[in-house]
Amino acid sequence: MYRQVPLSPEQKEQARHGESMFPLQKYITLLSYIYPTVAAHWHEEAEFTMITGGRCTYQIQFDSFEVTEGDILFLPPSILHSLSVETGGFMKSETYVFHMNFLGSNSADVCSVRYLKPITQQTLILPAVIHPDHPAYRELRDIFSDMNTAYTRQLPGYELKLKALLLKVLSALIPFGRENASRPRIETDHIQKIRQILDYIGEHYSEDLSIARLAERCYFSEYYFMRFFKKYVGISCLEYIKNLRLEKAAGLLAGGETSVLEASLSAGFSNLSYFYREFKKKYGMTPKKYIESLSSGGITPGAPLHGQSHLLC
């Protein structure tokens, strides 16, 4: 079980998952030395994931979970989460991202009132990580397989099939859920602040972000802010900003229409030599070598949602 924390609207992921009438999309995620991390983020949709290869660490509401091939995850809406692999490691997964309204959470029937709304509001906490020894694992594994078949074949009525299968996911997990207990007010306030700062960085990463500027938003001294940030995020604020900028630059280069100079400036690097050095340190190659690998097929470019992530249409 993860620990529940409040939302921060500034860190909300802006990607749209699916269409308004069919708010569901499938993604394949690959984390490796090219894309080793997914920065902390949240979105209004829930996630149902199967780890199909390798291993990684999920950070969910500031609790860490080690997951490996075969593990299944369910993340409800508005959960702060990030992913990372160790140096030299990799992780591959398949994820269905869907809005709870698709299942009827905005209706007034007993299913919505008793189950769907509490899950959405995080007053009913379901297991986040389901290992093969969990009592619900086999059923969830079979559901995931059935979803893949329906999503791939897209026969008439497949939307109903997917909706029914997602409801089966929740019904399989609800017996193992727990009611959420309130947390100390000071801890809640601190987590709210860190969410706001992460969101602010996500919106202004290309600008000159000083510690003084960020600390001022929390009404903290610079010294206290730096300690505060590292306590809740696990790395220093400057390291977090640098990693985010590098990931943004790599995404621009993967698009194939941006020069190294343009990518570095757009991501917030004013010193090209520094950008080259840090890019090579993070990705194991220079930006130019990275572009060559893309064009030669050595690296498959992907969307920034989940590391190297590919939308399956």
56, 50 Cβ separation under 8 angstroms: no
Task: Report pTM.
Answer: 0.71
* Angstrom distance (rounded) from CA 23 to CA 192: 28
pLDDT at 95: 97
Helix boundaries (H) for the chain: 110-111, 117-120, 137-153, 158-173, 185-204, 211-218, 222-233, 237-254, 260-266, 272-283, 287-296
In one letter, which amino acid is 82?
Answer: S
State the average pLDDT for the chain: 85
Structural domains for the chain? 9-179 (2.60.120.10), 185-299 (1.10.10.60)
Does residue 5 surpass a pLDDT of 60?
no
Does residue 258 surpass a pLDDT of 70?
yes
CB atoms within 10 A of CB 224: 12
Work out the pLDDT band at 62, boundaries 50, 70, 90.
confident
pLDDT 10s digits, 112-130: 999 999 999 888 999 999 9
Work out the pLDDT band at 42, boundaries 50, 70, 90.
confident
Pairing of strands 178-179, 63-68: unpaired
Instruction: Name the residue among 48, 51, 46, 58 with its Cα closest to residue 131.
Output: 51
In angstroms, the Cα distances linking 106 to 74, 118, 263 are 20, 11, 42
- Candidate ranges 12-26, 57-71, 154-168, 185-199; pick with highest mean pLDDT: 154-168
pLDDT at 185: 57
Q: Which stretches of 99-177 are assigned E, i.e. beta strand?
A: 124-125, 129-130
In one letter, which amino acid is 37?
Answer: T
Residue scoring higher pLDDT (278 or 3)? 278
